[in-house]
Structure 1
Amino acid sequence: MSEAVEPSEWQPDWLSELVNRSTRSAILSTPFTSDQTEGHLPAPSEQQNDPISSGNSANASQPPLADSESTHIFDYREETRLPVTPSGERSVRRTLKGIHLFVRIEILYHNAPRSSNQMITVNATLGTGLYWRGGQILELGGPLAVLVSFLVVGLLSWAVMQCITEMLCIWPIPGALSVYVSQFVDEELGITVGITYWFTYSMSFSTLVATSAAEFNFWRGINDSRTIQGVVIYFLIPLILVLLNTMRIQIYGWLEVATGSLKIFFLIFIIIALIAINLGAGSKESLHYGAENWGSPTDFDRDAADNWVISLLMSISIATFAYVGVEVVSSSVLEAKSPNLSKGGGNPFKFSAIYIPVFATVAYCLSGVLGTLDIAWNHPHLPRLSWLPPDLNKDDKSPSRAAFVVIALASNIPGLDDTFNAFLVFTCLSCAATNLYVASRTLFGLTSRLEGGEGRRWYLRVLASFGKTDGRQVPLRAMIFSAVAFWWFVEVLSEMASVSVLHVWACECLAFIRFYRCIYQHREYLERENIALVQRWSVKNYSDYPYRSYGQPLLAYLALSGCIFVLLVANGAALWNGFHLLPFLASYLTVIVFIGIWILLKIFRSAPWSFVDLSQPKRVAEIFRHLHDIRLGGTDSTEDISEG
Structure 2
Amino acid sequence: MLPSLELPEWFPEWALPSEPPGTSRREDPTLPTSQTTADDSQSGTNCAASGEGEPEHVQPEYRDGFIRVPPREIIVVPSQDRTVRRKLRGIHLFMITINGTLGTGLYWRGGQILELGGPLAVLLSFLLVGLLSWAVMQCITEMLCIWPIPGALSVYVSEFVDVELGIAVGIAYWFTYSVSFSALIATSAAEFGFWPGVNGNTGIYGGIIYLCIPLSLVFFNALGIEMYAFIEVVSGTIKLLFLAVIVIALIAINLGVGPSHRGYIGVQYWNAPTAFDTDAATNWGTAFLMCLSIATFAYVGVEIVAASALEARWPRRTVEDETRRTTSDMSRQSNDTLIGNSVKFSSIFISVLATIAYSVSGMLASFDIPRDDCQLPRLSWINSTESAECSTSPDSSQTNTASAFVAIAAQSGIPHLADIFNFFLVFTSLSCANTNLYVASRALFGLTSRLDGGSGQSWFLRLFSWFGKTNRRGVPMKAMVLSAVAFWWVPFLQLRGGTTTSTPIGMFIEILAEMGSVGVLIVWSCECLAFIRYYHCITSHRAALEEKKVPQVRRWDRHDYPYRSHGQPVLAYIALTGCIFVLIVVNAASLWNGFHKLPFLSSYLIVLSFIALWILLKLVRGAKWSFVDLSNSQRVVKKLLDLHDIRMGAT
Alignment TM class, shorter chain as reference: 0.7 to 0.9
Which residue of structure 2 lines up, in the alignment, with residue 130 of structure 1? 106
Match of 1:583 among 599, 610, 619: 599
Mapped to 1, the partners of 2:265 and 2:410 lie a distance apart of 15
Q: Does structure 1 residue 535 correspond to structure 2 residue 551?
A: no
Aligned counterparts, 1:97-246, within 5 A:
97-103=89-95, 120-246=96-222
Which residue of structure 1 lines up, in the alignment, with residue 322 of structure 2? none
Amino acid at match of 2:120: L
1:187 Cα shift? Answer: 0.3
1:83 Cα shift? Answer: 6.8
Mapped to 1, the partners of 2:162 and 2:433 lie a distance apart of 31
Aligned counterparts, 1:330-345, within 5 A:
330-339=306-315, 342=334, 344-345=337-338
Structure 1 residues 300 and 382, CA, compared in 2 at 3 Å: closer, same or farther? same
Structure 2 segments unaligned to the other structure (5+ residues): 17-22, 32-71, 317-332, 491-508
CA contact (8 A) 2:122 2:362 kept: yes
Which residue of structure 1 lines up, in the alignment, with residue 453 of structure 2? 452
CA contact (8 A) 2:254 2:265 kept: no
Mapped to 1, the partners of 2:365 and 2:303 lie a distance apart of 27
Amino acid at match of 1:480: V
1:57 Cα shift? Answer: 11
SS at match of 2:475: coil
Structure with greater Cα Rg:
2
Amino acid at match of 1:465: W
Which residue of structure 1 lines up, in the alignment, with residue 530 of structure 2? 511
The alignment's C-alpha RMSD in Å is 2.3
1:445 Cα shift? Answer: 0.3
CA contact (8 A) 1:198 1:439 kept: yes
Q: Does structure 1 residue 568 correspond to structure 2 residue 584?
A: yes
Which residue of structure 2 lines up, in the alignment, with residue 369 of structure 1? 363
Amino acid at match of 1:314: M
Which residue of structure 2 lines up, in the alignment, with residue 441 of structure 1? 442
Mapped to 1, the partners of 2:110 and 2:78 lie a distance apart of 46
Mapped to 1, the partners of 2:484 and 2:625 lie a distance apart of 35
Q: Deviations over 1:180-220 (max 9, x none)?
A: 00000000000000000001100110011111111111111
Structure 1 residues 51 and 279, CA, compared in 2 at 3 Å: closer, same or farther? farther
Q: Identity of aligned pairs, percent? A: 60
1:50 Cα shift? Answer: 3.4
Structure 1 residues 384 and 331, CA, compared in 2 at 3 Å: closer, same or farther? same
1:606 Cα shift? Answer: 0.2
Match of 1:500 among 519, 533, 536: 519
1:389 Cα shift? Answer: 1.5
Which residue of structure 1 lines up, in the alignment, with residue 57 of structure 2? none
SS at match of 1:392: helix
CA contact (8 A) 2:111 2:404 kept: yes
1:616 Cα shift? Answer: 1.1
CA contact (8 A) 2:10 2:549 kept: no
Structure 1 residues 202 and 403, CA, compared in 2 at 3 Å: closer, same or farther? same
Which residue of structure 2 lines up, in the alignment, with residue 35 of structure 1? none
CA contact (8 A) 1:375 1:407 kept: yes
Which residue of structure 2 lines up, in the alignment, with residue 475 of structure 1? 476
Amino acid at match of 1:434: T
Q: Does structure 1 residue 553 correspond to structure 2 residue 549?
A: no
1:81 Cα shift? Answer: 9.2
Which residue of structure 1 lines up, in the alignment, with residue 624 of structure 2? 608
CA contact (8 A) 1:450 1:463 kept: yes
Mapped to 2, the partners of 1:421 and 1:463 lie a distance apart of 41
Q: Does structure 1 residue 90 correspond to structure 2 residue 82?
A: yes
1:347 Cα shift? Answer: 1.5
Amino acid at match of 1:337: R
Which residue of structure 1 lines up, in the alignment, with residue 349 of structure 2? 355
CA contact (8 A) 1:52 1:532 kept: no
SS at match of 2:389: coil
Amino acid at match of 2:534: F
Aligned counterparts, 1:371-386, within 5 A:
371-386=365-380
Structure 1 residues 82 and 315, CA, compared in 2 at 3 Å: closer, same or farther? farther
Mapped to 1, the partners of 2:113 and 2:187 lie a distance apart of 17
Q: Deviations over 1:395-420 (max 9, x none)?
A: 32763421100000000101111110
Mapped to 2, the partners of 1:549 and 1:142 lie a distance apart of 35
CA contact (8 A) 2:515 2:602 kept: yes
Amino acid at match of 1:336: A
Richer in helix (by share): 2
Match of 1:526 among 545, 550, 553: 545
Mapped to 2, the partners of 1:192 and 1:372 lie a distance apart of 40
1:58 Cα shift? Answer: 10
1:503 Cα shift? Answer: 0.4
1:42 Cα shift? Answer: 5.8
CA contact (8 A) 2:25 2:73 kept: no
CA contact (8 A) 2:24 2:76 kept: no
Give the alignment's TM-score, normalised by structure 1: 0.84
1:59 Cα shift? Answer: 5.2
1:51 Cα shift? Answer: 4.4
SS at match of 2:388: coil
Mapped to 2, the partners of 1:260 and 1:201 lie a distance apart of 18
Aligned counterparts, 1:19-30, within 5 A:
none
1:472 Cα shift? Answer: 1.1
Q: Kindly tell me the number of residue pairs found equivalent between the two proteins.
A: 562
Amino acid at match of 1:342: S
Amino acid at match of 1:315: C
CA contact (8 A) 1:197 1:439 kept: yes
Mapped to 2, the partners of 1:274 and 1:63 lie a distance apart of 68
